[in-house]
Structure 1
Amino acid sequence: TGQDLFTIVCNYIDLLENDYFALEYVDSHRNACWLEMDKPVLKQVTETKFSFCVKFYTPDPGQLEEEFTRYLFALQIKRDLNLGTLLCSDNTAALLASYIVQGR
């Protein structure tokens, strides 16, 4: 199932706080889709290329307990800013970018 694959990925990267993440794939219509946890993987996808992504952002980043989780959030925000998929004002984008630079 999708849950089985997701668990394997989380264990492989040693991720403890996995509730914020999911596996994403591109369907035959070129739409980004989340892998459904309760369904068999092969019934959902035709290609086996997945992206490990943040699915839910916490309103309070202070709730994130693990440094690795915060690092993965920063990588996702950086990627989304670069691709233009994170919809926010220029001021917010600049603020987020400054946080990422400070976190290095």
Structure 2
Amino acid sequence: MSACATPTRLSPTAIAHTLTLAGPEADSDELPTYVTCELDPHDTAQNHAAHLVFLPDDTEGKAVWLLWNGKRALTQLKGPRLECDQGDAEEICTLYVDHPHGHAWRSTRNY
């Protein structure tokens, strides 16, 4: 997958909202200042998306994502997308569930 990679800077409002969504255990020092879109290249009418932080102590892989376009930005809590490969190892898409476009796979296999 080749990513869109459109950059944006996190606003103080986005940082505050991310910390609210992530809960009291979240560390503001772990948040990026700038992010790039992790989705496949796409039309400018669609939102860009970037992972910000996983929820502390969450075992399901939920995370806060920034979605933005030329007019607005918002943070949302999103769950992971899990898929099963044809082999015996589970494959995990590193993007959120129900994301548009192609997947970004990471294998859980131990090499």
**Common topology (TM > 0.5):** no
Q: Which has the larger share of strand?
A: 2
| Bigger RCO (CA 8 Å, 6+ sep) | 1
Q: Which has the larger share of helix?
A: 1
